[in-house]
Amino acid sequence: MNLNQLTIKEAKEGLKNKKFSSVDLTQDCLKRIKEIEPKLNAFVTITEKEALSQAKKADDMIANGDDLPLLGIPISIKDNFCTLGVKTTASSKVLENFIPPYNATVVEKLNNAGAVTLGKTNMDAWAHGSSTETSDFGSTKNPWNLKRLPGGSSGGAAASVSSDEVLAGIGSETAGSIRQPASWCGAVGLKPTYGRVSRYGVIAMASSLDSPGPITKTVEDSALILNVLAGQDDKDATTSPRKTEDHTKDLSKSIKGLRIGISEDYFKGIYREITEDVQNALKVLEKQGAIIKNIKLFDPQYAIAVYTILQRAEVSSNLARYDGIRYGNDRSYFGEEAKRRIMLGTYTLSAGYYDAYYKKAQQVRTLIVKDFNQAFKDVDVVIAPTSPSTALFAGSSEDNPMFGELADVLVEPSSIAGLPGINITCGFSKEDLPIGMQIIGPQLAESLILNVAYKYEQETQFYKQRPKL
């Protein structure tokens, strides 16, 4: 096995036992990037020099007996996280040459944990989309089939992980942008509770929804990274003051008696293979003692209208700062998708329409929150497919303004409610494309959903299958 194919846990053990160095590990990842990037396009910026410097520093620390959670581990970071001295574009030509004067809190925490950053990954411009086709720097391809989409907006991050360019990636989710590309690329994608991880230094898309989180090869790796990222931040007033915990502690805990909720509306209009694989996954969990209960949640279709209105409204506000006066290019550099969202958001916030659209959407959002709260009185977690389809063909999002909302319909409700959710692979289609299943928990129940995901992962081990690029 090449070193770049290791999980974080395996790499940490190898580094600790001096089987290889962080420089060796980083060089293997860089070699893989150079080999496949011309056809994959997962990165916007590759920081080879900086990465090797960080790796050498990590090796010195390891030699001195130091131990940090991610010491010497090569990762990628989505290009909407500000990185001191390293270009950050949000995959838009408006910020084509923007170099931030500070680090996002997430980046600062990763640096303090000893991680080695190999570069910034491609995404839908401004995170507007679920395909990575709206990137101003070319679309990312799916490692399982280069004619297919990786999903989005964290498509580059998911592709970089599943193709073994890095050991883990950092993405962000507003309504599916971690879980959906993780589903299409066959990775573990963890969307934490809103406010569990700081948004400071993340280029804002929809501020009441944005949630940074990890994309990894295994559930345990996601738990390790969440341990690093979670916690209150003085720079972000929306972060939770609740004390953080060790999310790796209860991974192996028995799920006997765990109540899993299934809502039939989450299984309407999706690929038959996906339904079958999720049902098979439920049987695996049932054999481990879990109890399957049928529940009734709002039809996820309601979330499309709510998300469309709220997200566009917040986009129109957040993108107003990009006027080209202080930094970046002027507004003529905005792509078509950004223009559409700005116009619709401005309209919904305008006089005479605010009550009819924005206020009404917020009221329905509250009903969705209450609906989940009621469900969690009867069950511990909710399980559903992550996406209605497997990875679609390249070009599917073109001339389809609602592509993202339709692709994310099954994850939008939980994002709107600020809930934690995790995607895990539960099978493969006839075309050998990954099929994803999501596990949703109550607010701040990350350890619980990680526990359920881990128990399933260890029983099935779909995570060991890798794309043949």
Determine which one of 92, 154, 177, 240 is catalytic. 177
Q: What does the alpha-carbon distance between residue 325 and residue 125 come to, in Å, rounded to a whole number?
A: 20
Q: What does the alpha-carbon distance between residue 238 and residue 199 come to, in Å, rounded to a whole number?
A: 8
* Structure tokens given for 441: 């928990």
Please report, in angstroms and rounded to a whole number, the separation of the first and last CA atoms in the chain. 15
Q: What does the alpha-carbon distance between residue 450 and residue 247 come to, in Å, rounded to a whole number?
A: 8
* 252 is a catalytic site residue: no
* 177 is a catalytic site residue: yes
Q: What are phi and psi of 425, to 5 degrees?
A: -70, 130
**Encoded amino acid at 146, one letter:** L
Task: Give 59's Cβ-side CA count (13 Å radius).
Answer: 15
Which residue shows structure tokens 């900086």?
Answer: 50
* 130 is a catalytic site residue: no
Determine which one of 153, 172, 316, 389 is catalytic. 153
| Strand segments (E) across 365-447 | 381-385, 421-428, 434-440
* Structure tokens given for 451: 């526990």
Which residue shows structure tokens 């738990």?
Answer: 223
Q: What does the alpha-carbon distance between residue 42 and residue 367 come to, in Å, rounded to a whole number?
A: 38
Determine which one of 78, 120, 217, 455 is catalytic. 78
Q: What does the alpha-carbon distance between residue 56 and residue 66 come to, in Å, rounded to a whole number?
A: 14
CA-closest candidate to residue 2, choices 23, 31, 45: 31
Q: What does the alpha-carbon distance between residue 292 and residue 263 come to, in Å, rounded to a whole number?
A: 11
What does the radius of gyration of the chain's CA atoms come to, in whole angstroms?
21
* Structure tokens given for 376: 């969690």
**Catalytically annotated residues:** 78, 153, 177
